[in-house]
Structure 1
Amino acid sequence: MTSAFFTRKQGEFVPEPHARSPWSPDMLHGRLLGGLAARAIEQEHGAPGLSFARLTVDLFRNSPLLPVTVETELVRDGRRIRVADAVIRTDQGVIGRASAVLLRKGEQPDGQRRATPAWDERPPEAPPVTLGGWTPPFDLWWLSDWTEQGPNRVWLRESHPLVDDEPTSPFTQVALAADFASPLSNGGADGVQFINADYTLTLGRLPEGELIGVEATGHLSAGGVATGQCTFHDAVGPVGFCLVTAVANTMAPRQP
């Protein structure tokens, strides 16, 4: 593990240079904002016996590499459900928000269900790869040919702490990985022509271990508006799904 993306100073998260987006060298990477929101909601509203079932992250404003604050609010706290929101700000104002649903764990019902099967990809043995001229600030293994039709698949692994030297929790890990559902489902032979505005991650369970597998299972677009869907796995089996919306963007991803 190398230096964290953010340093905590007087209630703010101060970004390091490698917190930048591939779209622009002076823009915060959107995946990190979802990670900060997940971290804050988990630390302030998570509890034993509750399972994170959904996280929706809205990324409606780009921000330079400015200090970030995250404020959370408990919206509902019932016997079986807890709902919490988070607002993400910089000095330029609100740049994103998130909403999480936590459900009370209980006895698993009997009977058969149409369960999503585990994929057939083994954990990677080769070194991680780069994306063209851009070296991602996380470990990445391509399992399919980006230029060909059919499901795109990758393994992901965090290589930096999110904040200071804190361990990154499984919930925050999968929240960070969820942002990659957009380029994986909306990209193609001509690169990534859509930039995502949000993502909704739903989880049957938290991932185990450091590796998170993502498989793009659908894309639709018309008039410059796109939606994509992915299935998330760990080395044991499937853990959840992610749905993203995205808009056509003429700004090409940054080359280092």
Structure 2
Amino acid sequence: MPYFRRTDATTFEPTAQVGGAWNTAEQHVAPTFGLLAHLVEADRVARGRHDLAVTRLSYDIWGPYPLSTMTTAVRVLRPGRGVELVEAETWCGGRRSVTLRAWLAAGGDTSDLAAGAPASVPGPQDVPAWDPTTDWPGGFVASIEVRRDLVEPGRGVVWVRTDVPLLDDEDVSPLARTAGLLDVANGMSVRADPRRVAFPNLDLAAHLHRQPDGGWLGLDTSVTFGAGGAGLTAAVLHDVSGAFGSLAQSLVVRRMP
């Protein structure tokens, strides 16, 4: 069973695999992130812009949304020969749910200049398996395989992958598969017990210095809670070949009643 089934050119039906972690009757945002990245890349191909690659994915989450039909749209905000800004959005339950703004840039051979990537972390084969359902409910969390080395609360190295397809009968790029896992950064190296403290993220921004391979996603993560109710999750992104980018998520931190 995939995360989504396409019902027409612009609408998608979530399956039980998308069930949320904070509320199992709502969608986990991670698969939506993957779906929007896929739609940006599909639009790029349809427009014949094979020369462009995504270098930034910036998502804003407008609020929780139910396990019901998603309506989507894609538009080019800033066309260009070498750089484009593309926006993709979803609506669900009569409300806008997630907006993605993606920068795309033309590639080039800079192999002689490549340098400065963060050091590699222990690979998935060197990190113990961990069951994320010990901290989180929901269909999405149950669908992922996780390996975790938690150094201390809020600090750890996590590897995650899934064998669940994003869509039935539709080719999905390594980038879109990876984008569909990025949001787990905030939940796999928790600083506080999510049964006692809520710390949902409002957004996610990922910056890439190369394209990921689409298999295991590594997250070298730090979670910070401030004294005024805000927090930040930051992670260096890895695949088995090494670092390929970084992400940040803005958090709202609240004690449970």
For residues 117-132 of structure 1, what are the structure 2 equivalents within 5 Å?
117-123=119-125, 129-132=131-134
Please, what is the CA RMSD of the aligned residues?
Answer: 2.5
Take 1:68 and 1:43, find their aligned partners in 2: how far apart are those partners?
17
For residues 8-157 of structure 1, what are the structure 2 equivalents within 5 Å?
8-10=6-8, 11-46=10-45, 47-108=49-110, 110=112, 113-123=115-125, 129-132=131-134, 134=137, 136-145=141-150, 148-149=152-153, 151-157=155-161
**8 Å Cα contact 1:7-1:14 kept in structure 2:** yes
Question: Structure 1 stretch 226-235 or stretch 208-217: which is displaced more?
Answer: 208-217
Structure 1 segments of 4+ aligned residues over 3 angstroms from their partners: 109-114, 122-128, 249-252
2:3 is equivalent to residue 5 of structure 1: yes
Percentage of matched positions with identical amino acids: 25
| 1:164 Cα deviation after fit | 1.7
Task: Tell me how many residue pairs correspond in the alignment.
Answer: 248
| 1:202 Cα deviation after fit | 0.8
Take 1:74 and 1:93, find their aligned partners in 2: how far apart are those partners?
22
One-letter code of the match for 2:3? F
| 1:220 Cα deviation after fit | 4.6
2:193 is equivalent to residue 190 of structure 1: yes
Structure 1 counterpart of 2:180: 176
Change (3 A) 1:251 1:65: farther
| 1:170 Cα deviation after fit | 1.0
One-letter code of the match for 1:31? A
2:202 is equivalent to residue 203 of structure 1: no
Q: Which runs of 5+ in 1 are unaligned?
A: none
Take 2:117 and 2:30, find their aligned partners in 1: how far apart are those partners?
28
Q: Secondary structure at the match of 2:226?
A: strand
Q: Secondary structure at the match of 1:32?
A: helix
**8 Å Cα contact 1:195-1:249 kept in structure 2:** no
Take 1:236 and 1:106, find their aligned partners in 2: how far apart are those partners?
20
